[in-house]
Homo-oligomer: A and B are copies of this chain.
């Protein structure tokens, strides 16, 4: 790559220090953590070290609260389906914000097929959850409530502390998908009152193939995958040692460097927003201030986000996103942009930029110029 990559939300490079730390587990210390011999015990010890590092990142009371999974999607499934199904006797209502990740929404919809009642709580035009509706909908039979820490498409940060208070007032459990926020802003499961928290390795410069679910020991789960006894029986499969060890190291580095890196990116992000908003009929999506420090998302009237993405890539070698990569090959407008009140044609004009460690202030004028030229060009071609 020699262009400008602005799509850190959809995939991140592995930090070279993480790779240096974890690569030994590919070719040299490659044991199966369940094996009882010394090679297996060394592998087990690497997994437990990673568990401690991940626990520290989110201030989990104990490393044993961390369950490693193969991805954040898996962790979301385990949190939602695993809790709801195990605790179905206590109630068959589930709640989520309307802007959750597709893995949360689809896990909830699967529960609906199994007789659960699902309510999607609306958000305002900046993407903040409607706390009055949430409070009104919560009851003592709401087995799981799931609200994300921050949204990956619009960058808005949710008021997790208030939400957890409301959920706990009913004696129920809160699941938080923190994939967009982790490693960007501090997350403290104890202070925030989070019962189940999803994070992912790659979203903090760790290798793909590892996610984690923090589980408050009060929450009883059942596995969504059946097999061996790994991860307390909650995630069977031989542990992915390289990815787990790498995730641990990535978590350690994130804890150390997150504040500094976010302080570095915030003014770059602000410059980018300032420049882009100079373009005619360009609008910021998401909250103006309560947003992730690396996140700038926009919409442009009369043009398609997909055309913006393709033009920016082909003409300027700048990689942006037009929403969630998970659904980017569909023609449906983003459910997040519809939920903040955009019309279909407005939602289609979306461009999402997410900054990372290889971006710098010097790139902003280049990016702004490229976006401006792209928008002009596409509008000139547009029949609208």
Select which of B10, B19, B110, B238 is within 8 A of A32 by beta carbon.
Answer: B10
State whether B208 touches A36 (Cβ < 8 A): no
Q: Is A151 an interface residue (CB 8 A)?
A: no
Interface positions of A from 271 to 330, Cβ below 8 Å from B: 306, 309-310, 312-314, 317, 319-322, 324-330
The residue among A36, A107, A324, A327 with the most chain B CB atoms within 10 A of its own CB is A36
Select which of B27, B81, B101, B110 is within 8 A of A19 by beta carbon.
Answer: B27
The residue among A7, A12, A70 with the most chain B CB atoms within 10 A of its own CB is A70
Q: Is A103 an interface residue (CB 8 A)?
A: yes
The residue among A11, A27, A28, A210 with the most chain B CB atoms within 10 A of its own CB is A11
State whether B39 touches A238 (Cβ < 8 A): no
| Chain B residues near A38 (CB-CB < 8 A) | 3, 313-314, 317, 319
**Binding-face segment, A225-233, A253-261, A359-367, A371-379:** A225-233
Interface positions of A from 5 to 52, Cβ below 8 Å from B: 5, 7, 10-14, 16, 19, 23, 26-32, 34-40, 43
**Copies of this chain, count:** 2
State whether B39 touches A228 (Cβ < 8 A): no
**Binding-face segment, A89-97, A116-124, A187-195, A239-247:** A239-247
Q: Is A183 an interface residue (CB 8 A)?
A: no
Over the window 320-351 of chain A, the binary record of Cβ atoms lying under 8 Å from chain B Cβ atoms (1 yes, 0 no) is 11101111111000000000000000000000
Shortest beta-carbon distance from A171 to chain B in Å: 27
Q: Is A182 an interface residue (CB 8 A)?
A: no
Shortest beta-carbon distance from A272 to chain B in Å: 18
A243 to B243, CA, bound (A): 10
| Chain B residues near A71 (CB-CB < 8 A) | 70, 237-238, 240
Q: Is A236 an interface residue (CB 8 A)?
A: yes
Q: Is A72 an interface residue (CB 8 A)?
A: yes
| Chain B residues near A31 (CB-CB < 8 A) | 10-11
We find that the number of chain A residues with CB closer than 8 angstroms to chain B is 80
Q: Is A262 an interface residue (CB 8 A)?
A: no
Q: Is A145 an interface residue (CB 8 A)?
A: no
State whether A70 touches B237 (Cβ < 8 A): yes
Q: Is A76 an interface residue (CB 8 A)?
A: yes
Shortest beta-carbon distance from A304 to chain B in Å: 12
Q: Is A207 an interface residue (CB 8 A)?
A: yes
Q: Is A74 an interface residue (CB 8 A)?
A: yes
Given known A102-B227, A107-B227, contact A28–B7 (CB-CB < 8 A): no
Report, nearest first, the 10 A-B pairs whose CB atoms are least far apart: A209-B209, A228-B326, A103-B227, A70-B70, A71-B237, A11-B32, A106-B226, A10-B32, A37-B313, A73-B237
